Homo-oligomer: A and B are copies of this chain.
């Protein structure tokens, strides 16, 4: 049983570690040689000469900062990080980043008043009992502060009940306010946004195949007929996997060429290289000539592949980006159903060009539903049965297993110190590796599901990861047992008993979670600001691999927020805070410190380091909201379970009201605010359209959109000539179909010679 003293020691240790990291960071960031590790965002913006964020004056020395005064203000980055106003931050880093920071702020808003109230009301109430002493059970001072110290059936539980209500209402209030603010920020962001291709564009998927017409013609006909006067242009999607591979290869070659040309420039002696694997085997050749010819070869191949992709109808996927003359028409097309068969001509608001996940654009409808089923089942097994393969690996990866597989290692392994190391370390290693790989595995699963944008992939993965953390970290730590054993428990216990079993264990695990918050939260966040991995990799690359200035640019890895990895972890703190708020309020200050520290650190990182890969306009907020609501409901159910063992059965109905109200609150919020994150209100787009039409009457939208949704492969290549081919004439609104009319329609017989109409009709008939 951990006492307050133990906790204090742990806290001290973790504080020291965290502070050490922070000091190290403060020192390292002042060294110019680390500039590209700690301020990449400014390099990418091209303004590194004067970073607005820090008081750091880059010293004359090229590698080490010799200005002693700057060391004195080693924590100056913290206030600096807090200084930038929100509007500027949105300009600087995008709305996603700002709203991501709001998650931490929401944490503070929820938990500061809860902590104060809990310490003012619950802690004295718990402390002034002597249940634990009189029971003579082994207990710690922490337990004296918790609900465990209240005697069975005491009237004092009413206070906890009231507090549960107060905490719920406060949390819901904050959540609603935040949802409101975030929705407003998003709408303002969308309204103030400059003209962007995705505002005018709709992604069309599952275009049915047609024997008479190509995909491109089909798309054009379909939208000319069904959105007459609105359709502007479209961009088909090509299958470019091979082309992308060639490009990657060319880039590599170009890099080597640059390197050797630089070398040649310096040494004035033509460098040589070997043609074999990694330039280590094979015959010597002149390096520059060799790479030049290689690049030429690839270019030829590329051009051929290009032609093939463009000509071969099979390389055109049944998906297209269709652009409209106004935002209004695009919004309309994205929100409506096009044909009576809801599995073809699926339209949705196109993601930002950067955000598109190209590989998934061509998955047909049936395949999508099958994939979703497969992933659903797979995730269920991953969540509840992941221990099995790991246990198998662990049985193999013990000392005997290794000796059997690799007998020559036997004498080495049998050394006592090494043996104990292997025995102590290896079994955990498989699990550790799995846990590190987990977000990537989950991301892969989401990709397999067929989502078409990076942002939706991240959101889906985050949901999966949160479920995993909930069962395997939160419940797993409380019930101590693998999720598989838990599953067994859940199936064999009555619906009543599950919250009771878990609820009873909750107060006992408080110290464990306090330690968890300190290690994973405090030290983890301090480590994040240090960017150890990026630091090491950058310097390694810089030392060994960097051949050109462009390489150095590439070696700089600003990273990004990685929502799918970090957001579920924050949610775990919300869960812990809400669950322990009534039970063991002592946990709350630790969580507060985490939220505050993380807020400052991530704000700093967002200003100076991260470079978001796309901008989704805070589309992840509904998920954040949902997960906090989930945490709230879990906390209510567990409290219900706990109190039902404390002789307070009468409280059950009073407590049952809470989850019902919370679910209702969630439904209300979902109806009220979620559409702002999903749909595109007509009034807003109309306003933007009207303003724009007045301001820039003659803007050439078509030229603007010309290659917005071209696959990045084509763009980097600059071969627009191929692409222009399927761009129809701007004024040619009526398109002749290649299809023979199959029957005389009544309309035709009435109005002979109305060619345009017969086209309409024939397209309609499909």
Q: Interface segment, A96-104, A233-241, A432-440, A678-686?
A: A678-686
In chain A between 353 and 405, which residues have their CB closer than 8 angstroms to a CB of chain B?
365-366, 369, 372-373, 376-377
* Interface hit among A124-132, A336-344, A570-578: A336-344
Residues of B within 8 A of A343 (CB): 671-672
Scan residues 308-356 of chain A and give those whose CB is less than 8 A from a CB of chain B. 331-332, 335-340, 342-343, 345
Q: Please, which residues of chain B bring their CB within 8 A of the CB of A340?
A: 183, 187, 676, 681, 683-684
With A369-B667, A493-B494 in contact, is A681–B337 under 8 Å at CB?
A: yes
Q: Which residues of B contact A494 (CB under 8 A)?
A: 491-494, 497
In the complex, which residues of chain B have a beta carbon less than 8 angstroms from the beta carbon of A654? none
With contacts A751-B694, A764-B683 known, is A675 near B225, CB below 8 A? no
CA distance A366 to B761 in the complex (A): 46
Q: Is the CB of B676 within 8 A of A342?
A: yes
Interface status of A226 (Cβ within 8 A of chain B): yes
Q: When the two chains form the complex, which single residue of B336, B339, B667, B682 contacts A226, counting CB atoms closer than 8 Å?
A: B682
Name which residue of chain B comes closest to A683, CB basis: B339
Say whether A660 faces chain B, with CB atoms less than 8 Å apart. Answer: yes
**Chain B residues within an 8 Å CB radius of A687:** 764
In the complex, residue of chain B having the shortest beta-carbon distance to the beta carbon of A685: B226
Task: Check: A496 CB closer than 8 A to any chain B CB.
Answer: yes
Among A337, A340, A681, the one with the most B-chain Cβ atoms within 10 Å of its Cβ is A340
Across the interface, do B690 and A764 meet the contact criterion of CB distance under 8 Å?
yes
Complex CA distance for A722 and B681, rounded to whole angstroms:
34
Residue of B nearest to A191 (CB): B340
Instruction: Give 1 or 0 for each of A281-304: 1 = CB within 8 Å of chain B CB.
Output: 000000000000000000000000
Query: Which residues of chain B come closer than 8 Å to A672, judged between CB atoms?
Result: 342-343, 365
**A695 CA / B491 CA spacing, docked (Å):** 65
The interface residues of chain B lying within 8 Å CB-to-CB of A751 are 694
Per the bound structure, the CA–CA distance linking A373 and B183 in Å amounts to 24
Report yes or no: A747 in contact with B694, Cβ–Cβ below 8 A. Answer: yes
Does any Cβ of B come within 8 Å of A691's Cβ?
Answer: yes
Which residue from chain B places its CB closest to the CB of A373 in the assembled complex?
B664
Q: Does A120 contact B (CB under 8 A)?
A: no
CB distance from A502 to the nearest CB of B (A): 15
Is the CB of A668 closer than 8 A to any CB of chain B?
Answer: yes
- Asked if A337 contacts B226 (CB within 8 A), the reply is no
Distance between A657 CB and nearest chain B CB, rounded to angstroms? 9
Oligomeric state, in number of copies?
2
Does A683 lie within 8 Å of B226, measured CB to CB? yes
Q: Is A406 an interface residue (CB 8 A)?
A: no
Q: Taking the complex as formed, is A71 at the interface, i.e. its CB lies under 8 A from any CB of chain B?
A: no
Kindly report which residue of chain B lies nearest to residue A492, judged by CB atoms: B494
- Whether B757 pairs with A690 at a CB distance below 8 angstroms is yes
Given contacts A332-B332, A377-B660, A491-B495, contact A682 B338 (CB under 8 A): yes
* Residue A425 CB within 8 A of the other chain: no
User: What are the residues of chain B within 8 A of A331 when measuring CB–CB?
Assistant: 336
Contact pick for A492, options B496, B750, B761, CB 8 Å: B496
A760 at the interface (CB under 8 A from B): yes
Check: A27 CB closer than 8 A to any chain B CB: no
Q: Is A169 an interface residue (CB 8 A)?
A: no
A188 CB → nearest B CB, Å: 10
Q: Does A512 contact B (CB under 8 A)?
A: no
Tell me whether A490 is interfacial, beta carbon within 8 Å.
yes
Chain B nearest CB from A343 CB (Å) reads 6
Closest CB in chain B relative to A603 CB, distance in Å: 28
Q: Is the CB of A680 within 8 A of B337?
A: yes
Instruction: Please indicate the chain B residues that have their CB under 8 angstroms from the CB of A496 in the complex.
Output: 491-492
**Bound CA–CA A690/B490 (angstroms):** 60
Top 8 closest pairs, chain A to chain B, by CB: A342-B675, A687-B764, A339-B683, A337-B679, A335-B336, A373-B664, A340-B681, A492-B494
Known contacts A365-B672, A694-B757; 12 additional CB pairs below 8 A are A335-B336, A336-B681, A337-B679, A338-B683, A339-B682, A342-B672, A345-B683, A493-B494, A690-B760, A690-B761, A690-B764, A694-B750
